[in-house]
Structures are given as C-alpha cells and as structure tokens.
Amino acid sequence: ASGFRAAAAAKPVEYVKVCTAYGPNYYYSPGTDTCINAQTGVTKREVDNGEGGTRTVTGKTALASKVDDIDHHIQRAFESASVASALTSPDLVQGEHFGVRVNWGNAGQSNAMGVTGAAVLGEGFMPGGNGRLAGAAGVAFSGKTVGGNAGLQLTW
C-alpha cells in the first residue's frame, strides 16, 4: 500500500514542455534548452553573448532544412517548366522570311515570359529548286531562372 501512495503522490511526468519565450507552438527539445516551433521547425535558444548578457540563436531542425531544400528544388523545377513552355518559335509558312513571337508559359505557380524569333537563312538549294533552311532562337525568364533555345530547320 505504501508503494501505491508514493506513486499516487508523485508529480506527473511532463513529456512535452511548452516554451513560452518565443510565442505559440514552441516546445523544448527533450533534455535541452532549445525551443522548437512544432509547425515550422525553427529552433531558438539563448546563448551567452560574451558581454554578460544573452542573445537568441535561431536555426532549423534537420528535417525542416531538408523540406526547405525540397521546396526550393520544386520551385526551380516549376520555373524551368514555365520557361520551357515560353520558348515556342514562330511558325514561318511559305513566303514568310522572318517572324517574332512573344510567349507566356505557366507551370504550377510559376509564370515565364519569352521572346523568340525565326528567320529564313536560305532557299532553293535542294535539287529541283526547292528546300529552305530556317533558324530560330529565343530567351525566357521566370523568377531567377533564365532559359534559351536555338535551332535550325531544313524543309523541302
């Protein structure tokens, strides 16, 4: 019975300790004085500033840093896809010798603007007097991503 009374009188174990110093959603990392925001993975802790006071050191958990890296790569992929879709060349038909095209491309939440041009470089050099060589080039921008293309087309 005395073991039961001792267990009933013991303080409850605090598995998650709330850290109120940095606002809502912060909890102490077990066994440390580091506070972690449960929603963002931001870490904060007070360290000696060498002048008799303290300063706050802010960081991120390893998992939050990896998620940020993945988000960055996904954003760059969407930017690249929107740039690619903004690089459509003008379509030159018989009798046309030059064309310019302004393009818009979108992928996810990324938008790109591009300008492409095409020109006939030569005609009538194939047997029978037909054949045409055309060249095209363009550039497009989305955020910090820049892309371009260039090509030749031989038709007869």
> Which residues are CB-contacts of 106 (< 8 A; sequence separation ≥ 6)?
82, 85, 112
Task: Let me know if residue 72 belongs to a domain.
Answer: no
Instruction: Give alpha helix (H) positions in the chain.
Output: 2-9, 62-85
pLDDT-derived band at 93, boundaries 50, 70, 90: confident
> Which residues are CB-contacts of 152 (< 8 A; sequence separation ≥ 6)?
121, 133, 134, 135, 136
- Which of 63, 97, 113 marks a domain boundary? 63
Task: Let me know if residue 74 belongs to a domain.
Answer: no
| pLDDT > 80? residue 63 | yes
Task: Let me know if residue 140 belongs to a domain.
Answer: yes
Range of the domain at 58: 2-63
| pLDDT > 80? residue 8 | no
- What's the mean pLDDT when you consider all of the chain? 90
Pairing of strands 35-37, 98-107: unpaired
Task: Let me know if residue 78 belongs to a domain.
Answer: no
Are residue 126 and residue 95 in the same domain, yes or no? yes
Are residue 9 and residue 50 in the same domain, yes or no? yes
Are residue 102 and residue 45 in the same domain, yes or no? no
Task: Let me know if residue 122 belongs to a domain.
Answer: yes
